[in-house]
Amino acid sequence: MKNKSAQKHKKNTGPLDHVNRCNQVDDARRVSEEKYATVVENAPDGISIIQDEIIKFANKRQAEISGYTVEELIGKSIYDLVPPDFVSVIKERVALREQGKDIPEIFHVRLLCKDGTIKETESSTKLIQYESRPASMAITRNIAERKREEEKLQQTINDLKKAVNTTVQVLVSALESRDPYTAGHQSRSANLACAIAAEMGLDQEKIEGIRMAGVIHDIGKLSVPVEVLAKPTKLSELGFSLVKEHARSGYEMLKNVESPWPLAQIVHQHHERMDGSGYPRNLKGDEIIMEARILAVADVVEAMASHRPYRSAWSIKIALEEIDKNKGILYDNTVADACLRLFREKSYQLA
């Protein structure tokens, strides 16, 4: 009797269980939607949904960035939110997206605000389904402050470059007055090193660093006695050991100079060789930075092709044969090939 009563009760509660389950699902959905709304409305970036090039949804941050209210943004064409000269850029991106072609995930957008001002922003978009139709969700970030900081940083770098350039010119003048042979050699080596770097496709910032290091790469010779530098005969073993110290001395002079380029390191390494036979530290291979490898080749070519107090100039042909013969051994393969192309195919002249 008891079992029958329990079974009857269980049957009668079936619909109630279903209602309870439905209520639980509704509660869970409501909590999920509330969490979603909280996240979207308090996001630090603007969020909008765009469909048929019309804004269908915008969060508070999107309104704050643009200066409009959320209500004013809804229904607005995206082309009303960029300056006239930027409309074609947006149309091109929309067309590419509609064709299914890849566009950058993050791109720059000049946002036309309600008060007529233009803000620099970054935007990223993702294809979504909105109300059962294709749409784009756009995330917009105001980067005006970051741009200001970048401009300040660039100005600091420019000021630093000017200061370094002034320091370099002082050092060049000091060496030139003491040893005119070395000063001319540095200038010509720097020009060739920059040409090699450009031939290799290095960026302009690296090339500028190579130029700066090139014009002072022998600055350590300020610590070498003049009578040794200007000696008209072949140097003794002692004299040569003094000259070899110039790479280390140059590093010591430059190591505390603030610079956007590794000047001290380049100067320190420009007599190192790929097989470890160079000086002062017998570095080899990847231990030698690329800027120093480039300067090493330029230094050898210019030195061999120019007059020295202790010998007449050799021909540029002999200098290039030295590079060709020892590429991959003493000199970096890529650097050597670039140097050889300059002279043999592009008629480069030392100047």
pLDDT in tens, 126-158: 888 999 998 988 999 988 878 888 888 788 778
145/317 Cα distance (integer angstroms): 56
Q: Are strands 118-130 and 133-142 parallel, antiparallel or unpaired?
A: antiparallel
Local confidence band at 308 (pLDDT 50, 70, 90 cut-offs) = low
Query: What CATH code is carried by the domain that includes residue 132?
Result: 3.30.450.20
Check whether residue 77 and residue 177 sit in a common domain: no
Last residue of some domain: 109, 142, 175?
142
Query: What CATH code is carried by the domain that includes residue 273?
Result: 1.10.3210.10
Weakest mean pLDDT among 10-14, 64-68, 111-115, 330-334 = 10-14
- pLDDT(80) > 50: yes
Contact criterion met (CB below 8 Å) for 136 and 88: no
3-class DSSP state of 233: coil
Token pair 């050898």 in the structure block, residue = 300
147/155 Cα distance (integer angstroms): 12
Average pLDDT, the chain: 84
pLDDT of amino acid 18? 52
Average pLDDT for 48-62: 93
58/74 Cα distance (integer angstroms): 7
Residue 245 Cα distances to 62, 189, 252, 266, 269, angstroms: 63, 19, 11, 15, 12
Check whether residue 106 and residue 212 sit in a common domain: no
Range of the domain at 326: 153-344
- pLDDT(227) > 50: yes
Name beta bridge partners: 136.
Answer: 50, 127
324/301 Cα distance (integer angstroms): 11
Compute CA 316 distance to the chain's CA centroid, rounded to the nearest angstrom. Answer: 36
Check whether residue 198 and residue 135 sit in a common domain: no
- pLDDT(11) > 60: no
Identify whether 12 is part of a domain.
no
Identify whether 34 is part of a domain.
no
Average pLDDT for 219-226: 83
Name beta bridge partners: 51.
Answer: 54
- Count of the separate structural domains present in the chain: 2
Peptide bond into 44 cis (omega under 30): no
3-class DSSP state of 46: strand
Local confidence band at 264 (pLDDT 50, 70, 90 cut-offs) = very high
Identify whether 10 is part of a domain.
no
Contact criterion met (CB below 8 Å) for 292 and 266: yes
Local confidence band at 2 (pLDDT 50, 70, 90 cut-offs) = very low
Check whether residue 220 and residue 106 sit in a common domain: no
